[in-house]
């Protein structure tokens, strides 16, 4: 509308210079006056809308952002406290005697290690999302704020009473300070440390998995050995029984054959002795 108004003003001035007819000039003046009135009404409406946006920005959005920043600061302090306590526990665990701890990995131990690995992976992902999304949120607010505080320039606007614009709203310093503090965070070192921790746990998971597979193979081999040993013992027992039975039969047959060979002569000797004794009597 501003461009159209300026075009009509230029046209009116040109016609005045050329000495155009009065009727044509009056019609053009009426059009310019109508555009001027519409422009003033629209600018007043725009000023009212801008004032409402600024009011929401300074009295609604800004306090909420202050609360959010305070909450984030409290969260970081709590995280620092918990991590310090965890570090103390880890340092204390180094002095523990682990010589009596079981050396073999159990299924329960392996499952807990996998759970720890999943938690650390999720921790790494959520930490990256936390920092990245905060920065993106602040950058989006900054982009919106730059558009919000751009003054509306107009030749006609000076004639319209409009609310005073705040050159530098408090939210601007808040966003700059917030982003500055986030940029100072050693997020790269933290991400690298968490990722390294996750990779170490993953290596342990793989080694435990290999150990459990070997343990399973050993158990299968042990069962196979017991089964085959049982079969062997059973075969040996039967073999020894058959061998002893065969040996016993051979002994019996040998004794029988010996009696058959020596039996008659032995009878005569016995009979002769007995008979001789009777004769002497």
Residue 248 lies in a domain: no
Which segments of the chain does DSSP mark as H helices, in order?
Answer: 2-18, 22-56, 62-93, 107-148, 170-184, 187-280
Q: Give the pLDDT confidence of 70-122 residue by residue, as tens digits.
A: 998 898 899 889 989 988 998 888 887 777 777 788 888 899 999 999 999 99
Given CA atoms 179, 180, 183, 185 in this order, what sign does their dihedral have? negative
Residue 150's pLDDT is what?
A: 63
In a domain, 273, yes or no: no
The sign of the CA dihedral 122, 125, 128, 134 is negative
Is residue 58 within 8 Å of 166, Cβ to Cβ? yes
What pLDDT score was predicted for residue 265?
A: 52
177, 142 Cβ separation under 8 angstroms: no
Q: With respect to residue 66, please indicate whether it lies within any of the assigned structural domains.
A: yes
**Is residue 259 assigned to a domain?**
no
Asked, for residue 78, whether it belongs to a domain, the answer is: yes
What is the C-alpha to C-alpha distance for residues 34 and 42, in angstroms, rounded to an integer?
A: 12
Look at the chain and report how many structural domains it folds into.
1
Neighbours of 231 (CB within 10 A): 10
How many whole angstroms separate alpha carbon 11 and alpha carbon 16? 9
Low-confidence ranges of the chain (pLDDT < 70): 1-3, 5-6, 8, 11-12, 15-23, 25, 28, 150-167, 254-281
- Which pLDDT belongs to residue 201? 94
Q: Does residue 189 fall inside a structural domain?
A: yes
CB atoms within 10 A of CB 38: 13
Report pTM: 0.58
Residue 110 lies in domain: 2-96+106-231
Residue 268 is assigned to a structural domain of this protein:
no
CA geometry: angle at 70 spanning 78 and 128, to 5°?
60
116 assigned to some structural domain: yes
Question: Which residue matches tokens 């701890």?
Answer: 101
């Amino acid at each position: 509308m501003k461009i159209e108004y300026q075009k009509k003003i230029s046209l009116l001035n040109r016609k005045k210079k050329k000495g155009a007819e009065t009727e044509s000039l009056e019609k053009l003046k009426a059009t310019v006056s109508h555009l001027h009135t519409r422009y003033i009404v629209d600018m007043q409406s725009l000023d009212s809308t801008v004032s409402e946006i600024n009011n929401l920005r300074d009295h609604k959005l800004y306090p909420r952002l202050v609360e959010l920043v305070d909450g984030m600061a409290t969260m970081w302090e709590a995280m620092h406290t918990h991590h310090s306590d965890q570090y103390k526990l880890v340092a204390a665990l180094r002095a523990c005697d682990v010589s009596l701890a079981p050396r073999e990995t159990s299924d329960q131990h392996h499952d807990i290690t996998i759970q720890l690995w999943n938690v650390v992976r999720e921790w790494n992902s959520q930490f990256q999302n936390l920092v990245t999304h905060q920065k993106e949120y602040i950058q989006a607010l900054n982009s919106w704020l730059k558009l919000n505080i751009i003054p509306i320039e107009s030749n006609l606007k000076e004639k319209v009473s409009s609310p005073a614009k705040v050159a530098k709203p408090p939210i601007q310093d808040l966003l700059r300070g917030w982003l500055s503090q986030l940029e100072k965070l050693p997020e790269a070192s933290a991400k690298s440390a968490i990722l390294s921790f996750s990779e170490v746990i993953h290596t342990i998971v793989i080694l435990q998995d290999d150990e459990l597979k070997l343990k399973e193979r050993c158990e299968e081999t042990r069962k196979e050995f017991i089964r085959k040993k049982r079969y062997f013992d059973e075969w040996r027992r039967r073999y020894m029984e058959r061998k002893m039975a065969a040996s016993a039969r051979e002994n019996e047959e040998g004794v029988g054959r010996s009696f058959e060979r020596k039996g008659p002569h032995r009878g005569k000797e016995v009979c002769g002795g007995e008979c001789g004794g009777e004769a002497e009597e």
